[in-house]
Amino acid sequence: MNRYHRYYCNSAKWAKRLGESVVPWVLRDYDLGTDVLEIGPGPGLVTDLLRQRLPALTAIEIDDRLAASLAERMRGTNVTVVHGDGAAMPFEDGRFSSALSMAMLHHVPSAELQDRLIAEAFRVLKPGGSFIGMDSTVSLRFRLYHLFDTMVPAEPGTFGARLERAGFTGVVVREGKGAFRWRAMKPA
């Protein structure tokens, strides 16, 4: 991520927005289960919100500096931070009750790698588990935040079909202001 984007994604302004509107909009009243995976936590602002409502949370982060910083900050909590690639996860099949991807998918550098990440989320979920998330939609502001940065936006209109190709069922994709959210289930 570019310098401004790193700053904003770790800011009090973004933390407040996440807590007051984004996370409630995405998670609604879903039961996430007892062993949850967060894919691409970045600096961990969503992690801070999730760990308060979950018994166990594992976060996988590809950026070594962000992973190390988050691991240090989460030491002694119910969060385990793993430095790794969401498109090639080091977890066993069927481990997690749910998996979350919050505002990070557009940082995966190609649609093919995004599809691998979706397939990996499917693989590591228990039967009946949910893959829940959100990502931004393209706007001028979104483009400006990503100058000289990785930006491969997913198209909300075709995202459901991508989830279904990975094996998910009960797929729901909804657009909101500047973002879209999804929920998909691994068949029981």
Sorted by sequence, the CB contacts under 8 Å of residue 17 that are 6+ apart come out as none
pTM (2 decimals)? 0.90
CA-to-CA dists, residue 168 to 19, 24, 62, 164, angstroms: 28, 23, 24, 5
What's the pLDDT tens digit per position in 18-53? Answer: 889 899 999 988 999 999 999 999 999 999 999 999
What's the pLDDT tens digit per position in 103-145? Answer: 999 889 999 999 999 999 999 999 999 999 999 886 656 656 6
Residue 86 has pLDDT above 90, yes or no: yes
Domains annotated on the chain, with CATH: 3-14+33-185 (3.40.50.150)
Higher pLDDT, 103 or 163: 163
Mean pLDDT of the chain: 91
